[in-house]
Structure 1
Amino acid sequence: MTTTPFASLDDYYALPRIDAAVTSPDGARVVLTVATLTKDRTGYERSLWVVPADGTGAPRRLTRSTTGESGAVFTSTGDLLFVSARPDNAADDDAPAQLWLLPAAGGEARPVTRLAGGVAGVATAADSDRIVVASSLLPEATTIEADARLRAERKKLKVTAIVHDTYPVRYWDHDLGPHEPALLSLDLRDLAEAPAVVATADEAVEAVSTGESDVADEPYPAGLPRPRILVRGRAASAAGMALTPDGATLVVALREPQGRDARFRLVAIDTATAAQRIVRDEVDVDLETPVVSHDGAHVAYVRTEKSTPAGPADQELWIDALDGSDPRRLAAGWDRWPSSIRFAHDDASLIVTADHDGRGPVFRVPVNGDPVEQLTTDDFAYTNVETIAGSSDLTALRSNWMTPPHPVRVSASGVTPLASPAPLPATAADMVEVETTADDGARVRGWLVLPEGADAAAPAPLLLWVHGGPLNSWNAWSWRWSPQLAAARGYAVLLPDPALSTGYGLDFIARGWNAWGGAPYTDLMALTDAVVARDDIDQTRTAAMGGSFGGYMANWIAGHTDRFDAIVTHASLWAFDQFAGTTDFAPYWQSIFTPEGAIENSPHRFVRDIRTPMLVIHGDRDYRVPIGEGLRLWADLNEHHAAADGTSPHRFLYYPDENHWILSPQNARVWYETVFTFLEENLPANP
C-alpha cells in the first residue's frame, strides 16, 4: 500500500493548511494565510506568506508570532493590514486582536488600533488611506475610551450577566452581548511613524465619570488613527461591506429588524460624517454581499426574497447605481447561487463563483445582459477569487476532494498553480463521478472516493457521507470531513448531492423543500443502490454518516431502513418540536416548514424502528443545533433499545467545550478515532 499522510492522524493534523489568499494592488504578489499545528499539538497558529502571482519563485514567510495573524488585506499603497492578538507595549496578555500594518517597503509590523472590543475585520479602499474596521462597543459607551473603562469595570467585578430586549440572544457558538457590533472608520495617514505608546500613569485621567467606579477613562493612544463610529448596535451585524475607491462612502448590508426576524438592506455611509443614506430596502428581502465597481459608480449585490414553506427563493444577482437610481437584475435565467462576486478589472462584468454540478467554477456575468460565461471547467471549487488590475487574469484558491486549497492564477490559457508553503499531500485514493436517475426522473450525482486496490477481487466497504446545510454541495475540500482518511483505511466514501443540494437549479432544491424526509432520502438511497452495484464495492458492508443536516439524514435513515451496518450522526436535528425554538435563530426554521411538515419530517417519531447501531456525537457549545437534540436522541435510544442491564449497542461521544464543529486538533483526533473504532466494530474493513 502507498504511504500517505492520511494513513496517520498525527501526519494528517501536521499538514499545513491554506486558509485565505489576497492579491496586492499591482497584481504582483499573493499573500496566503497558512495554519500550522502548534508544538503542543492543541491548536493552530497562523502566519502570512507571500508568493509571486505569475507562477514563478518561491514562498516567503512575512510574519511570525505565537498568537498568529489572519484577515490580511492590502491598502491602496501596497502595505499589508492584518488582524492579530500579538502583544505590543500596551496590550494585556488576554487583550483582543487588533489591526496591524506591515509596510510594503519593509520593516516591522506595527499596531494600527487599540480597541477594547478588538478588530474582527477590515475594508480598504482602492485609492484612499481611509479604512473601516468591524469591532464592538458596549451599548452605554458613548466613546471608545468609555467602552474600555466599562469593559474593565465588568471584568474587575466579574459581571457576566446580559440583559436583552431583542432577539436572538446567541449565535453559532457564542453569546450575543453585552457588547454590540460597531463599524468604525479611520485614516491611515494619521498613523505616526513612531510606535504608539500608552499614556503614563501621570497622564491618565484622574477623575472618574461616575462616583461608583474606581476605573478611570484612559485616553486613546497618541500616534494611532482615532476611529470614528459610523454605525453601532444590532444593525451593524453586516452581511458584507465595501468602500468606494476614494474611501468616502461605505456601502454596507445592515440588519434591519422585522419583528422577531430581520432583513438586510443596503446603506451608504459617509465615512467622514457617519451620515447614512438608504441605497435599497425591501420588506421580506435580504440584500447582501455588496461590492463596488472600480470607477465607484455602481454596486453589485445578491438579492434574496425570504423563503416560505411554499418553496425556496432564488438568489439573484443585481447591479445598481450607487445612489440607488438604476437597479437591474443580471443573468435572470441563470439559477445558480453566487458564493462570491467581484467586478472585473474593466467593470464590464462580474466575476462570480457558484456551486455547479458538483463543482465550484468561476463565471463571468456581463453587466450588459449578455449570456453568462463559465471560465473554469475542471473538477474543482474556487474561493478567494480576486481580479488583477489591468488584466483579465484572476487569482484564487482551488480545491476538490483529492487536493486541499492551493493558490492558482486563472487566465484565458488555463489555470496555473502558484508556489505554495503548503505542498499538496500525496494520496493513493481515486475520485470518480457517479450518478443515477431518481423515481421522478431527476438526475442525482455525487463523488465516490475509492481506496487504493479496490476492485472486483477486493471490493471496499462503503461509507455514505451526507453533507450539511442542507443548501450545500460536496464539491470542495474539507479538513473537518476528510474522505481521504477513510480511504486510507480501506473504505470507499460516497459524497452525494441529493435534493436540496445547490448547483443544480432551483427546481432541484424545491424537490426536498418542506419534505426533508422525502426526495433527499430517496435520492440518497437511489445513489447508494447505484454505487453498491459496482463490482469494486462490497454491498454487504455499508455505513451512513452525516453532520448537521447530514446528521438529520443519518437519523432519518436509521428510522427508515436497516440496510446499513452502522450510522454516525453528528450535531444532528432529532426532534423538530423542540429544535425550532431552541436553535440560535428560530424565525428561519419556522419559515421553511409548515407545522405539518415539521411534524411529518421529524426523525424522533421513528425511534422504535431503529435497528442499526448509532454513534451520536454532539458539542455542548453548539447553538445552531443545540445539545438538547443530542441529549434527547440519546435518551430516546436508551428508552427504546437499552438492554435490561442498561447496556446499549449505541454510543454517545460528548464534547463539553466544542460547538457545531469540532475545532481542537486533539478533540478532532478523538472524533476520528472513535468513528473508525465504531465502524470497525460493525463493518470491519478487512474481515
Structure 2
Amino acid sequence: MPHPAPQLTPEPTEPLTAELVVDVAAAVAPAISPDGRLVAHGVVANGGRGGRPHGSIWVTTADGSTSSRRLTDGTARDLAPKWAPDSASLFFTSDRAEQGTAQLQRIRLDGSEDIAKAEALTSWRGGISDHCPLFDGRTVALLAEDEPAAEDERREAERDDAKVWGRHLPATRLRLLDLETGVLRTVDGLGDRHVVELAQRPDGGPLAVLSWSTPELDPGVMTAELHVVDPGSASVHDLGPIGIEARSLAWWNHNGVWHLAHLEVTPAHLVGGLAVIDTVPPVTGPAVEHRNLTVGMSVSPTELVQVADGPPLALFADGLDTALYQLHPGSLRFHQLSSAPGMLAGLTASNSGETVALLASTAYEPKNVHAGPTGGPLVRLSDTGPELRRIRWGVQERLSYQASDGIQLDGLLILPAGRTRDDGPFPLVTMVHGGPYFRYADEFALNAVDCGQWLATAGYAVFLPNPRGGSGHGHEFAAMVAGAVGGDEWTDILSGIDLLVAQGVADPERLGISGWSHGGFVAAWAIGRTDRFKAAMMGAGISDWGMQAGTGDWGILDAALGGSTGWEGPGPHVHDRHSPISYASRIRTPVLILHGEEDTNVPLGQAIHFHRALRHFGVEHEFVVYPREGHGLDERAHQLDALRRIRAWYDRWL
C-alpha cells in the first residue's frame, strides 16, 4: 500500500497560520482510466468566486512516470472526473458557465496542451448532479432535476413561492444523453422517485438504479429501492426495497450469473455498522433474497467498488487504519488483500481490477492520490500541500485502552509541537468526532472543524477518542449507542482522559472539550455531567434530541439515537434523559457555540435553545452564527474566523 510518509520536520521553518490551514489545496475524487494507464483527480482550494472553494482537474500516469498535468485552470468548480470507456476522454462537471450550476464537460486527451480545451455537453437549467459514461461510448447517464417550467418562472418572478411540504424539494431524475446528437431523454418509468445513484453492468447491459421516495433525507434514506433500467428502451424493472442509507452499487458476475451488491446499515437496525448486501436480480419481479456478506466481521466497510472483470473491491475501516479487501465469489466472503496505516478513501479500479487509485493519508501527510497494483505498493501521484512540510507538527501517538466495562478502545493523542511526554502535564483539549458513526484514523486532519494540529502548534495536547458508536470495529460496536447517546460513549471518552491525566500528559486543572455535530452534542453533554472542563466548544451540536428528531434532516434516525421523538405521548421522554438542555442548570463551564445559519442537518434552533438556557442560568458563553453556512463551514472568511476564535477561547480559559 502507500509508501511510508515523510517524518516530522526536525526544525520549524514557518509558523502555522490560519490562512495556511484554510488555503491548502486538497486532492479529491481520483478516477483511474479503464485501461489502468492514467489517473485523473480533482484539486479543491479556497479563493474561488464568492469566497467559496474552486476546483481543477488533473491527470497523470498511474505508475508515476510522468508529472501531473493540469487540465483545467481552476477558475470554476471543476469536479467529479470520470473516464470514457475507451480511456481517451474525460468527463467532469463544471459551473464555469453559471456559478453554482454544474454542467457536463468533456476533455479529449491528446496531450497537445497544458490546459486542455473543454467541450460543454449540456446547458440544462438547474444543472447536473451526477454522471456516468456508459459502455457503448455514445451515451452518458445523467442525474438532474427537471428544468423550470414557464409557470415556475412566473411564480419566482412574482414571489408566488409558497412551499408545499413534501413537494418543496425537486426530485433528481435519470436522463440519458446521446453524445452524437446532444439529445437528452428522461427515463419516465421511475415515476416521481428521486434517483440518487446508478451503475452500469460491466458487459454493457442494464443500469442498476437506486432511488428514494423523496429528496428529503427523512424519509428518503429509509425508502430506498433498487431498479434495473435498460438504457436502450428505457424500460424499468423494479427490484423492490432495500435497507437504510443504501449506496455504493456494484455489479459482479460468477459462473455466468450477475449479482448486484451495495452498502447499507446492517439489516433490522436503524443504528449500527454498514454491511455489504448482495442479491441476484431476477428476470421479472422483485428480488427475493438479500445476503449480508459481512456478517460477523470486526471491521467496517466504508466503500464498495465495482470491477469490470472481477468481483468487487472494498475498503474497510480497521481501528485506526484502513484495509483493502476483495470478495471471494465461491465463499461469498471478503478477503483482505492489503492494509495501510491511517485513512484510505475514494477507491477506484481499472477494468481488470489489477490497478487501483485512491486517496491516502497518514499522521503527517494530508490526503493525496496514490496508485499501483491492488496488492501494493502504491505510488503517490499528487502533492497538494508541500508547504505543510515546513511546519513542526505535534507528535501524533496511537492510544489503546479499555473502557470501564472492558471493551477495547482506541484513539489518538497529539502532543504540543516540539514537546515530549516528559514535558507534561499540558493543557488538554478533547475533540470528539461526529456521526456518531465516524472515526478518527491515524491520518493528518487540519481544517476549521478538525483542528487538532492547529491547537497542538499553540501548545495544547489534543485527545482524539474513538468511543463506541463509531466505525472501525464492526456492527455491534457501532450499534451500542442506539437509544443511549451520552451513556457509555461518554464514559469511554472519560476513561481516556483519566488515563492521560494519570500518565502525566494532561493537566487536570486545564481540560477543555470540543466537537462538531455529534461531537458538539458530546461537548454540551460533558459540561452538564461534570465541572472538570474549564472551557468547551459546541459546533453545530444537538442540545435537544426530541427537537432534533422533529426538525433535523435525519429525523427518525436521530430519534433512534436519542431514544424517542416526543410525540409518543406526555413525557418525560427517553430523549429528555439524553439531551444536554435537560442539564443546563448544572453547567458552569464557559462555552463557545458555533453554528451555520442555514444548517438543516442540525438546525440553528438547537444552538439558540442552548444559548438561551445558558443565558438564563448566567453561564459565560459566546454564541456565533455564520450566515449562508450549512452543517460545515465553506466560506474562507468563516473558516478563518472559527480557527482564530476557537484558539482564542482556549487561550482565555485554559
TM normalised by structure 2 equals: 0.87
The answer to whether residue 426 in structure 2 is matched with residue 460 in structure 1 is yes
Match of 1:565 in 2: 534
Q: Report the equivalent of 1:120.
A: 129
Which residue of the partner structure matches residue 235 of structure 1? 193
Equivalent runs, 1:114-513 vs 2, <5 Å = 114-137=123-146, 147=148, 149-165=150-166, 176-177=168-169, 179-190=170-181, 224-230=182-188, 235-238=193-196, 240-245=197-202, 247-256=204-213, 262-281=222-241, 287-293=246-252, 297-304=258-265, 312=272, 315-321=275-281, 323=283, 324=287, 327-344=290-307, 346-347=309-310, 349-369=311-331, 372-390=334-352, 392-411=354-373, 414-424=376-386, 425-426=388-389, 427-455=392-420, 456-475=422-441, 476-478=443-445, 479=447, 480-513=449-482
Per-residue deviation, 1:163 = 2.0
Given candidates 66, 69, 93, the residue that maps to 1:57 is 66
Distance 2:352 2:269 in 1: 44
- In 2, Cα distance between equivalents of 1:260 and 1:28: 42
Deviation, structure 1 residue 246: 5.4
Deviation at residue 287 of structure 1 after TM alignment = 4.7
1:609-628 deviation per Cα after TM superposition (whole angstroms, max 9, x unaligned): 11211111111101111111
Q: 1:600-644: per-residue Cα shift (whole Å, max 9, x none)?
A: 1111111111121111111110111111110010000010125xx
CA distance change for structure 1 residues 51 and 460 in 2, over 3 Å: closer, same or farther?
A: farther
Once residues 211 and 158 of structure 2 are traced to their aligned partners in structure 1, the CA distance between those partners, rounded to angstroms, is 34
Distance verdict in 2 for CA 1:510–1:248, change over 3 Å: closer
* Deviation of 1:293 (Å): 3.1
Distance 1:534 1:285 in 2: 42
The answer to whether the aligner puts 1:638 opposite 2:615 as a matched pair is yes
Structure 2 residue aligned with 1:81:
91
- Aligned twin of 1:620: 597
- SS of aligned partner of 2:404: coil
Residues 299 and 307 from structure 1, CA distance in 2 versus in 1: closer, same or farther, beyond 3 angstroms? Answer: closer
Unaligned segments of structure 2, at least 5 residues: 1-9, 565-572
Structure 1's 469 and 681: CA in aligned 2 closer, same or farther, altered over 3 A?
Answer: same
The answer as to whether partners of 2:129 and 2:144 remain within 8 angstroms in 1 is yes
Q: CA deviation at 1:470?
A: 0.6
Change (3 A) 1:230 1:451: farther
Alignment partners' CA distance in 2, 1:233 and 1:562: 55
* Cα distance, 1:653–1:66 mapped onto 2, change above 3 Å: same
Residues 537 and 591 of structure 2 are in contact (CA less than 8 Å); yes or no, is this contact kept in structure 1?
yes
TM-score, normalised via structure 1 length: 0.83
Structure 1 residues 234 and 624: CA distance shift in structure 2, 3 A: farther
The 10-residue stretch of structure 1 (95-104 or 419-428) with the greater mean CA deviation from structure 2:
419-428
In 1, distance between residues paired with 2:73 and 2:403?
53
The aligned residue for residue 17 of structure 2 is 8
1:605 corresponds to which of 582, 596, 600 = 582
Which of the numbers 509, 522, 525 marks the counterpart of 1:540? Answer: 509
Name the residue aligned to 1:673.
Answer: 644
Distance 2:376 2:100 in 1: 46
- 1:317–1:570: structure 2 CA closer, same or farther, 3 Å change rule? same
Residue identity opposite 1:164 in structure 2:
W
SS class of match (1:30): strand
**Structure 2: how far apart are the matches of 1:268 and 1:281?**
13
Greater shift in the superposed pair: 668-677 or 579-588:
579-588
Q: Distance in 1 between matches of 2:518 and 2:129?
A: 28
Aligned length: 617
Cα deviation for residue 498 of structure 1 reads 0.4
Residues 574 and 604, structure 1, Cα contact 8 Å, conserved in 2: yes
Instruction: Name the CA distance, whole Å, in 2 between partners of 1:117 and 1:41.
Output: 19
Structure index of larger Rg:
1
Question: Runs of 5+ in structure 1 lacking a partner?
Answer: 88-92, 138-143, 167-175, 191-223, 643-648
CA distance in 1, matches of 2:361, 2:188: 38
Secondary structure of the residue aligned to 2:101 is: coil
8 A contact 1:180–1:232 mirrored in 2: no
Q: Give the conservation status (yes or no) of the 8 Å contact 1:23–1:395.
A: yes
Tell me, in whole angstroms, the C-alpha distance in 2 between the residues paired with 1:618 and 1:444.
30
**SS at the partner of 1:422?**
coil
For residues 306 and 300 of structure 1, the distance between their equivalents in structure 2, rounded to whole angstroms, comes to 14
Specify the SS of the correspondent of 1:489: coil
Of 521-530 and 334-343, deviating more is 334-343
Report if aligned partners of 1:132, 1:184 keep a CA contact under 8 Å in 2: yes
Match of 1:528 in 2: 497
Q: How far apart in 2 are the matches of 1:555 and 1:4?
A: 38
- Residue 336 of structure 1 and its aligned partner are, at CA, apart by 3.6
The amino acid across from 1:433 in the alignment is R
By how many angstroms is 1:129 displaced?
A: 2.5
Q: Report the CA distance shift for 1:565/1:520 in structure 2 as closer, same or farther (over 3 A).
A: same
Post-superposition shift, 1:97?
A: 1.7
Distance apart, 1:128 and its partner CA: 3.5
Q: Is the 8 A contact 1:289 1:301 kept in 2?
A: yes
Q: CA deviation at 1:80?
A: 0.7
In 2, are the aligned partners of 1:266 and 1:287 still within 8 Å (CA)? Answer: no
Tell me if the contact between 1:41 and 1:665 (Cα under 8 Å) persists in the aligned partners: no
The secondary structure found in structure 2 opposite 1:568 is strand
SS at structure 2 position matched to 1:471: coil
CA contact 1:316–1:337 (8 Å) conserved in 2: no
Tell me the distance in 2 between the aligned counterparts of 1:68 and 1:4: 33
1:99 and 2:76 correspond: no
Deviations 1:562-621 (Å, cap 9, x if unpaired)? Answer: 111111111111022322111124222234443343121111111111121111111110
CA 496–591 in structure 1, closer or farther in 2 if over 3 Å, else same: closer
* Cα distance in 2 for residues equivalent to 1:113 and 1:421: 32
Amino acid at match of 1:27: G
Q: Is 1:72 the counterpart of 2:49 in the alignment?
A: no
* 1:370 to partner: Cα distance: 6.1
Letter of the structure 2 residue corresponding to residue 81 of structure 1? F
Question: Alpha-carbon deviation of 1:368?
Answer: 1.6
Structure 1 390/473 Cα, relative in aligned 2: closer, same or farther at 3 Å? same
Take 1:285 and 1:14, find their aligned partners in 2: how far apart are those partners? 36
Moved more, 450-459 or 69-78: 450-459
Distance 1:39 1:603, change over 3 A: closer
Q: Which residue of 1 aligns with 2:631?
A: 660
Check whether the contact 2:366–2:385 (CA below 8 A) recurs between aligned residues. Answer: no
Distance 1:4 1:446, change over 3 A: farther
